[in-house]
Structure 1
Amino acid sequence: MKLNYRTVIFAIAIVFGVFFSAPSLLQLQDGKKITLGLDLQGGLHLLLGVKTEEATKSRIKSITASIKHFTEREDILVDALSFDESSITFTLLDIDDVKRVKNYLKDTTGISVDVNAESFLLELTPEEVIRTQKQAVDQAIETIRNRLDQFGLTEPVVARQGDEKILVQLAGIKTQEDEQRARELISRAAKLELMAVDEDRAARVQNMSHADAAAYGDIILDDVKNPAIKYLVREIPILDGGMLTDASMGFDQNNRPLINFKLNAEGAEIFGDFTGKNVGKRLAVVLDGKVYSAPNINERIGGGSGQISGSYTVEEAKDLAIALRSGALLAPIYVMEKRSVGPSLGADSIEASMVALIGGFVLVILFMMLYYRAAGVVANIALIANLFIILAVMSLFGATLTLPGMAGIVLTVGMAVDANVIITERIRELLLEGKSIHKAIEEGYANAVRAILDANITTLIAAIVLYAYGTGAIKGFAITISIGILASMLTAILGTHGIYQLLESKIHKSKNNNFWFGIRESK
């Protein structure tokens, strides 16, 4: 028996497989483990709708805020700057400023500009409305995915369903508290706005209606802690969360949780200009339509940073920071369907899948041993190694195992055996032709490898396409198939070849092809 590099590599692969799959198989505390998907361990299934019409209103509001900042910075006098759900109107007091404003608006994409003397009417183009609504859904998917990743959930499924629906599947959500926390994090708009308090009329806010406030270009907002406290603020915000670059939880001097936020360069400039011109007045920090604080501006605030204080717990502050950091939703979302998947379904699925896997595995092993004798034992060693390697790789990368993924493992068992059958049959054919053991093994592998590679590469391409264009469970199936194909090529082509080379002299001396390859001598 002579050791060879193929046997060494195969032995290393087996050790790797056993070592890294052990935490998952034995459920050890230490080490990386495979995560079970929603269909196996239970969790939360949500179908969300997106109010895309609100996205166009947000776009209009954002353009209005930009126009307001531009005209104030350039000392352009504007009268009656207002907006509704589809348009923006304003009038310039000096006709000489019309050209400057028109040049500024050229850089704003997706709007049509109608100018009549000093009066402007701006509307989103039909193409921009469609683009904004589509972007709202795309951005919602990305934002929800980012929030859930930062929340700590492993491989949540977030995918588009139709034009305006989003499918969310969260594995491992078991308690009512976790479910409520996840739902709030998903649905929270996290829309941050800094808005000027109308100091001239703020004292009368308790006696004003929303229509009265609108007549002055204001809106009435509630205090987040006490809805009885009202604030009269300018409807057009100074800036919004689109200029936010970072948010993190911190603590004030009394060790109470608060949110620190930072703005981008444009936001910092707007923030600095506004605070510099409004010393002594109040600036309302508004989040999702509620006023969290309205501090007095004591001096110009540069650097583009601020704080949001409120009476919330550390956990609430962390979730709020996650929501702000991952970005505000362009349009509100609502739950269309909710299903809690119980762990009993997962237990039944696991049990049924394990019966299929073990049953199929045992039958394959028995067939290989009875039909191919010692060669079948070699194939079975490669098969067992193949399973350990699949589990090890999935554990190492913390992959999520779903029911289709388990089906992929079962299918991989058959594919791995198929490669060993092709190799053994080629060797048997050459031995029956009278070739020596050495030539039969070497030529058998040379002839079999081409067929094995062709079959496995085409299957691997199909699995890659499934992963690229599939979602959720389909991706899980594609991952297990891909890992299984690569592992089977390692164990079948390299591993068993090394074992035969190791045993070659012993096979030659025994001259018992029936024992080694199941070849029955003809009488």
Structure 2
Amino acid sequence: MRSAKVTYRLIILIIALVFGIVFSMPSFLQTQGGSKISLGLDLQGGLHMLLGVETHEAIDSKIKSIAGSINYYAKKEDVLIDKFKIRQDSVEFTLLDSDEAPKIDAALKEIVGLEIQKDGLKYTIMLTQEERAATVEYAIAQAVETIRNRLDQFGLAEPTVARQGEDKILVELPGIKTQEDEQRARDLIAKAAHLQLMAVDDKRQDQANTMSAVQAESYGDIIYPDAKNEQFKYVVKNIPVLDGSMLTDAKVAFSQQNNQPIINFSLNSEGARIFGDFTGANVGKRLAIVLDGKVYSAPVINERIGGGSGQISGGFSVEEAHDVAIALRSGALLAPVKVLEKRSVGPSLGAESIQKSMTALAGAAMFIVVFMMIYYGMSGVFANIALVANIIILVAVMALFGATLTLPGMAGIVLTIGMAVDANVIINERIREFLREGANLKTSVKKGYENAMSAIVDANITTLITVIALYAYGTGPVKGFAVTMSIGILISMLTAILGTHGFFDLFTDKIERSGNTRLWFGYRRDK
């Protein structure tokens, strides 16, 4: 009586194949819904930029932050200081009472990386060389992470943001096709998003348009333009009340007065405490909200503001408010970045790359399919079915993980096709060896898989180790190649070893009855 054995191997292959078909269709058909593979810069075009990081600004920012901490501590502890000045790479001040020196000394010891010079009651605070180097290194690493976070929130699919050399950052943005999208992306990348709350110097505000920057510095002030009208200036104290490092969230809202977009921001506990103390001690005075060196508003403080929240209103459009909120949420750039190199990759290049890659993919697949059928007979057909399943499941897995397909990634898929049938070639040759030795069909199939297993596993593990190293130490296109190769290797283990073995389980009885080894294995055994 004829019987078909549907084993767990075949069931697993069928389940995997159904999974692959369901989740790969959005990518193959390019439907609106569902997870799809994103195309990289080299396939769909986009924007390539090389950015330089102005690391000296990070040092200046660190110095100003230290100055703010010292100033806040002095006021909180009623320590009288005079001639408080921020130089290019140092903070200077003079104590008015020598009895207060232990308090200041104790506070300065809490700040890591300071070089303190004392001349009587005059203090000069600088960063140590080690702290300067650490600040620069952190600024570059933070710029990479901040830009990546901004672009992720902007909605771009799989942007590439990677450090290059000492102080450069590579940015690749697939899918940027219009001039407007390019400009928005560039503005978002370059926006420092440096938020500061600064006290307005009301005594000298009427001199804002006549005072020079040098004069303002001599008073401990700095002059900033109004964000809406740069002809109008503000004179503010150069030591910030607090800055964006204490910001925890920023969201777009709409003003109840005029329904214009505004940005609501929240501060951490330290920022909320400083904000509350300052507003409570300065009722009736003005507080300027400064973003990237421009004053967006300077409201009068009517009462103590607790809760650690505030708002920025500056005549934003909805898109501008959205982008500023993204920049604030993702963090300020400690060091500004500038575009050193920019080029647009046209979609025509991507279309040509896709066409050539698909031709190579189809050519390799057809050659392998025909070869396997002619040389191995029905065993080759099983291998071809496993190969198709491998490609479909590979696309499905990449789509689920939101992977980006690049030209090297497509090369990885082409290589995966060859590797996917390599295991079946080894298995079929082992089966042929046992048939030549006179073993029966069941024994030949069983021993063929058992003997081939160690060679297949060893080869795949060594290849997998290599592609993991490529992913760990490579960048951009190299990672794309490594991703497709690693997924393809793991899937080939499922389809080649389990899948084809499941087919043999199903047809073993039929193969034995026919005795036609030429049809099933491409090898004619003498009877």
Q: Give the TM-score of the pair, scaled to structure 1.
A: 0.99
Question: Structure 1 counterpart of 2:205, which letter?
Answer: A
Distance 2:229 2:105 in 1: 44
How many residues align? The count is 523
Q: Return the offset for 1:266.
A: 1.1
The answer for the alignment partner of 1:330 in structure 2 is: 334
1:7 corresponds, among 10, 28, 31, to: 10
Distance 1:314 1:206 in 2: 31
Alignment of 1:113 with 2:116, yes or no, is: yes
> Is the partner of 1:7 in helix, strand or coil?
helix
> Is the partner of 2:311 in helix, strand or coil?
strand
Distance 1:159 1:517 in 2: 50
Whether the 8 Å CA contact 2:435–2:525 is kept in 1: the answer is no
The answer for the alignment partner of 1:298 in structure 2 is: 302
> Is the partner of 2:208 in helix, strand or coil?
helix
416-425 or 200-209, which deviates more: 200-209
1:47 corresponds, among 50, 68, 79, to: 50
Alignment of 1:497 with 2:491, yes or no, is: no
2:73 corresponds, among 70, 73, 76, to: 70
CA deviation map 1:111-162 (0-9, x unaligned): 1111222111111111111111111110100000000000011111000010
Distance 2:423 2:154 in 1: 43
8-17 or 272-281, which deviates more: 8-17
> Is the partner of 2:413 in helix, strand or coil?
helix
Distance 1:396 1:127 in 2: 45
Distance 2:200 2:32 in 1: 55
Distance 1:469 1:455 in 2: 22
Alignment of 1:101-140 (within 5 A): 101-140=104-143
Distance 1:88 1:29 in 2: 57
Question: Structure 2 counterpart of 1:205, which letter?
Answer: A
1:453 corresponds, among 452, 457, 466, to: 457
Q: Give the TM-score of the pair, scaled to structure 2.
A: 0.98
Distance 1:505 1:205 in 2: 96
The answer for the alignment partner of 1:414 in structure 2 is: 418
Whether the 8 Å CA contact 2:516–2:524 is kept in 1: the answer is no
Alignment of 1:209 with 2:219, yes or no, is: no
How well do the aligned residues superpose, as a CA RMSD in angstroms?
0.9
Alignment of 1:317 with 2:325, yes or no, is: no
Alignment of 1:393 with 2:409, yes or no, is: no
The answer for the alignment partner of 1:468 in structure 2 is: 472
Q: Return the offset for 1:103.
A: 0.6
> Is the partner of 2:209 in helix, strand or coil?
helix
Gaps in structure 2 of 5+ consecutive residues: none
Question: Structure 2 counterpart of 1:377, which letter?
Answer: V
The answer for the alignment partner of 2:188 in structure 1 is: 185
255-264 or 458-467, which deviates more: 458-467
1:509 corresponds, among 509, 513, 516, to: 513
CA deviation map 1:219-278 (0-9, x unaligned): 111000011111110011111111111111111112110000111111111111110110
The answer for the alignment partner of 1:224 in structure 2 is: 227
Question: Structure 1 counterpart of 2:404, which letter?
Answer: T
Distance 1:29 1:61 in 2: 50
The answer for the alignment partner of 1:272 in structure 2 is: 276
CA deviation map 1:46-80 (0-9, x unaligned): 00000001110111011001000000000011101
260-269 or 179-188, which deviates more: 260-269
2:248 corresponds, among 245, 256, 261, to: 245
> Is the partner of 2:490 in helix, strand or coil?
helix
1:257 corresponds, among 256, 261, 278, to: 261
Distance 1:121 1:4 in 2: 80
CA deviation map 1:263-321 (0-9, x unaligned): 11111111111101100000000000000000000001111110000111111101000
Gaps in structure 1 of 5+ consecutive residues: none
Q: Return the offset for 1:86.
A: 1.1
Distance 1:272 1:230 in 2: 26
Distance 2:223 2:336 in 1: 20
Distance 2:124 2:346 in 1: 55
Percent of pairs with identical residues: 63
Distance 1:117 1:439 in 2: 95
Distance 2:451 2:250 in 1: 61
Distance 1:229 1:96 in 2: 44
The answer for the alignment partner of 1:405 in structure 2 is: 409
Structure 1: 4+ residue segments shifted above 2 A: 520-523
The answer for the alignment partner of 1:28 in structure 2 is: 31
The answer for the alignment partner of 2:85 in structure 1 is: 82
The answer for the alignment partner of 1:441 in structure 2 is: 445
Distance 2:31 2:273 in 1: 54
Distance 1:20 1:266 in 2: 48
2:481 corresponds, among 459, 477, 484, to: 477
The answer for the alignment partner of 1:96 in structure 2 is: 99
> Is the partner of 1:246 in helix, strand or coil?
strand
Distance 1:429 1:82 in 2: 87
The answer for the alignment partner of 1:168 in structure 2 is: 171
> Is the partner of 1:389 in helix, strand or coil?
helix
Question: Structure 1 counterpart of 2:99, which letter?
Answer: D
CA deviation map 1:314-344 (0-9, x unaligned): 1110100000000000011100000000000
344-353 or 513-522, which deviates more: 513-522
Q: Return the offset for 1:461.
A: 1.5
Distance 2:38 2:49 in 1: 20
Q: Return the offset for 1:522.
A: 5.4
> Is the partner of 2:158 in helix, strand or coil?
coil
